[in-house]
Amino acid sequence: MRLKQVRLKINGKDILPYIIIGIIIILMIVSQLGFRGIINFRYSKEFSQIAILVMIIGIINYFKTINMPKGVDLRNLISTSDIRTPTVAFRGFINQGTDISFVKFYFSNDCIYMYYRSFLKIYNGPLILKEKEKASENDFYIKKINKLSQNEMILEISTKTELTQYDLTLRTIGDKDVVLLDKEFNKLL
């Protein structure tokens, strides 16, 4: 499953965010006018609740997009679905493993891009996984893979300097993703 960003371009400029913001502003203005009694309509409270819901959905969908690394177009890469990670162990100077609930992998010829997110669809990353010999100080390498069952595994990744390490328990991995992960992870071991 790939995230596809919807765009509505006029003269090369994406105007869809402006349209969504405009609709949210109009809904909020009309709901406030109805709520304050300036415009009389029967369901002003419900209308203002719908306006707030539309605003929240718009904000969440804005952050839902995945930021691509420079020079890489993730839409052309093979990817996994979001994979549940109920347990994450982190070792390093700053605790950064608390908001990881799902991970998503994108595979290129020489590296793997790992994005992570919480239950909100706000993606962080990427953590770049490479072979240990080819990894720079900021890149990660696969230290160990422990298969628990057909659709579960523990993935241990670390920076080359061993200062930062994640142990991710990957659960309920789809059958297609299991085959893909086995193939791609073995390339980096």
Q: What pLDDT, in 10s, does the model give residues 77-117?
A: 999 999 999 888 888 766 566 678 899 999 998 899 999 88
What distances in angstroms separate CA 175 from CA 77, 80, 170, one per listed residue? 19, 11, 13
For the chain, give every domain's residue range.
Answer: 9-63, 74-188
How far apart, in whole angstroms, are the C-alpha atoms of residue 52 and residue 80? Answer: 33
How far apart, in whole angstroms, are the C-alpha atoms of residue 120 and residue 98? Answer: 13
Fold of 74-188: PH-domain like (2.30.29)
Per-residue model confidence as pLDDT tens digits over 141-158: 999 999 999 999 999 999
Share above pLDDT 70 across residues of the chain, in percent, rounded to a whole number: 83
How far apart, in whole angstroms, are the C-alpha atoms of residue 56 and residue 96? Answer: 26
- Looking at the whole model, is its pTM more than 0.75? no
